[in-house]
Amino acid sequence: MGTIETKDGTTIFYKDWGSGQPILFSHGWPLSGDAWDTQMLFFGQNGYRVIAHDRRGHGRSDQPWTGNDMDQYADDLAELIEKLDLKDLILIGHSTGGGEVARYIGRHGTSRVARVVLVGAVPPLMLKTDANPEGTPIEVFDAIRQGTALQRAQFFLDLTMPFYGFNRDGATEQPGLREKFWLQGMAGSIKGHYDCVHEFSEVDYTEDLKKIDVPALVIHGSDDQIVPIAASAEKAVRILPRGTLVVFEGGQHGLAELEPEKFNRTVLDFLA
């Protein structure tokens, strides 16, 4: 485990394990690199070097008052990639992390990137607009902001139910997953989390997706209650120059943790 200091003096925490072709995992909101533990173990055991960072304002990284925006997240990622001198890199981004991966390529290109995997990812745009009628109304994101600002601990705990689909008939609740999510969320910055809501909901990543000129795998759950598939994956795969869509039928937003063996094999097959 280590840290880097970015150009604006922010400390970014990361884990860097194993050897081989590097895979860099980018986590969702409001989590940390620990969300990828199962994948890091699996891919590390399968001959890959695995890296996961905590986005600024999240996890063990610094909690600056400013700079909690997607352009800065992408530039932080670029600094980490350059300082570790990662090449032939595989980028895997979940949810907000998918936006981070897309914006990194939009701003810094694919000279160091071999492949991309977007998982339950927010691109191209989550917000409902006249041009994006499949999106989610702004009132939903306003409620997320309010919950984060006023009742963050309870809000994060409640959020685990739709995040993992434990609110669906017949679902088996996993208290450990709920507690893991809550612990990661509460380790982060309330200001960073509050600011980030805008970045995953109202930022348009269409032009970034167009610049992902390497093979890109889009994995999404058909029953994702957090990032509905019609406004995200189904549109993203049509924008990506070399995109392929894999749908997990009945899959939820946290599908990598709910179905780790299926998810890991799906990604491993893509990389092979």
- Catalytic residue (one of 32, 95, 201, 232): 95
- Catalytic residue (one of 27, 53, 220, 253): 253
Does the annotation mark 95 as catalytic? yes
- Catalytic residue (one of 32, 75, 224, 232): 224
Structure tokens at 14: 């990361």
Helix (H) or strand (E) holding 210: helix 206-210
- Give backbone dihedrals phi and psi of 172, rounded to 5 degrees, phi first: -100, 110
Does the annotation mark 223 as catalytic? no
Does the annotation mark 58 as catalytic? no
> Dihedral (C-alpha) 122, 123, 128, 130: value to the nearest 10 degrees?
180
Using an 8 Å Cβ cutoff, are 133 and 154 in contact?
Answer: no
- How far, rounded to the nearest angstrom, does the alpha carbon of residue 272 sit from its chain's CA centroid? 22
Please list the helix, strand and coil fractions of the chain in percent, rounded to the nearest 5, in that order. Answer: 45, 20, 35
Q: Which of the residues are catalytic?
A: 95, 224, 253
